[in-house]
Amino acid sequence: MALPKKKERPRPIVPMLAYQADPIRESVRRLGSKWTLLLLRDLSFLHLAHFGELLRNNPGLSPRVLSRRLREMQAEGLIERVEDGAEVRYRLTSRGEDAVFILLAFLRYGMKHHASKRGR
């Protein structure tokens, strides 16, 4: 004898807006481009401010990609480009300084889980 089928309740529809407004997703979209976090590291921890310094400190980074990333970071409000005569420097904005806490979390994680692997 077959058991009577249970009526399935329809699943509630979650508004797409809540999913799209996910702050982690949005932060990764804005900070997750290749080189962005490393450039933030260079500007904040190493105090590198010139295009050539940033380029030399990141082997594999081409001048074209560096230029593009710096423009994207400016558009995002993470850094500002400061021209003083012929000299151009980049510095963090207050929004960029807020992102430094993400770098500190990466640093802590890396020291805890990957530091012993460097010597291998």
Tens digits of residue pLDDT in 26-82: 888 888 889 999 999 999 999 999 999 999 999 999 999 999 999 999 999 999 999
Q: Is residue 98 part of a domain?
A: yes
The residue length of the chain stands at 120
Residue-wise pLDDT for 85-109, tens only, equals 999 999 999 999 999 999 999 999 9
Q: Is residue 45 part of a domain?
A: yes
- Using DSSP, state whether 91 is helix, strand or coil: strand
Strand partners, 80: 91
Q: Is residue 12 part of a domain?
A: no
Whether pLDDT at 16 is above 70: no
Which structural domain, as residue segments, surrounds residue 61? 30-111
Q: Is residue 84 part of a domain?
A: yes
Whether pLDDT at 118 is above 60: no
The total number of structural domains in the chain stands at 1
Looking at residue 14, its pLDDT comes to 58
Looking at residue 32, its pLDDT comes to 83
Q: Is residue 11 part of a domain?
A: no
CB count within 10 Å of CB 79 equals 24
- Calpha distance 91→86 (Å, rounded): 16
Q: Is residue 68 part of a domain?
A: yes
Whether pLDDT at 117 is above 70: no
Which of 13 and 48 is assigned the larger pLDDT? 48
Task: Please classify residue 48 by burial: count the beta carbons closer than 10 Å to its beta carbon, then call 0-12 exposed, 13-18 middle and 19+ buried.
Answer: buried
Domain of residue 99, CATH code:
1.10.10.10
- Using DSSP, state whether 89 is helix, strand or coil: strand
Q: Is residue 6 part of a domain?
A: no
For residue 84, what are the contacts with CB-CB under 8 A and spacing of at least 6? none
Q: Is residue 62 part of a domain?
A: yes
Token pair recorded at residue 33: 């481009």
